[in-house]
Amino acid sequence: MLKQKAVSMDRIDEADQLRVNIYRLVGRLLRVPPDASLLSVLTQMTGDESELGQAISDLANTADSMDLADCRDEYDVLFIGLGRGVLTPFGSYYLTGFLHEKPLARLRDDMRPLGIARNDDVTDPEDHVAALMEMMAGLIDGSFGTLQPVSTQKTFFDSHVGNWTPHFFKDLETCSSARFFKPVGCIGRLFMAIEQSAFEM
């Protein structure tokens, strides 16, 4: 979804790598419909006794109990539909009720100095929830060329992620059309709360 640059050779600690892994997992789950290899990976995941760990275990169990066609059909119903899916996973829509509004313009303005650019073959606006998850991961691990300090991560999160994705993830978690994506919504909701709390410390 985003153009990757030479990854920074600076190493990140274990806690930041875990953050990157969760951001990338959620981003992959929401970017395109699942494929067989993704489902296989998901079924092998295990979580600890925390709420987030339990949500990860729930996702693994759900992936194991559903076939690929049903998971892909659910993605289409939720996010594509006939003209529009049940949910509209874009920041501008959640913040203004319309696509391609000022929140998207502000995001693009903030992406440029950070070296973040959309791939030329991607048609979705950059404020798609999956793209924002990928952006956060890249700011942490240097995928856009430079590891960004926590202060920059916080500013970006507050401006473009934390102000609407918790509502989206709650909607996904409670959506009557969601089965495979219900634990994805739970993971996203819990992780956004963890990130928000950590940035406020």
If 0-12 CB within 10 Å is exposed, 13-18 middle and 19+ buried, where does residue 112 land? Answer: exposed
Q: Is residue 63 part of a domain?
A: yes
Q: 68-116, pLDDT tens digit by residue?
A: 999 999 999 999 987 789 999 999 999 999 999 999 999 999 999 999 9
**Is 92 inside a domain boundary?**
yes
Output the CA–CA distances (angstroms, integers) from residue 40 to 35, 74, 76, in the order listed: 9, 18, 20
Task: Compute the average pLDDT of residues 118-124.
Answer: 88
pLDDT(8) > 60 = no
Give the domain CATH number at 68.
1.10.3480.10
Instruction: Give the tens place of pLDDT for each residue, 123-134.
Output: 899 999 999 999
Total structural domains in the chain? 1
Residue 82 in tokens: 């006939």
Give per-residue pLDDT as tens, 29-70: 999 999 999 999 999 999 999 999 999 999 999 999 999 999
Query: In which band, very low, low, confident or very high, does the pLDDT at 147 lie, cut at 50, 70 and 90?
Result: very high
Tell me, yes or no, whether 7 lies in a domain.
no
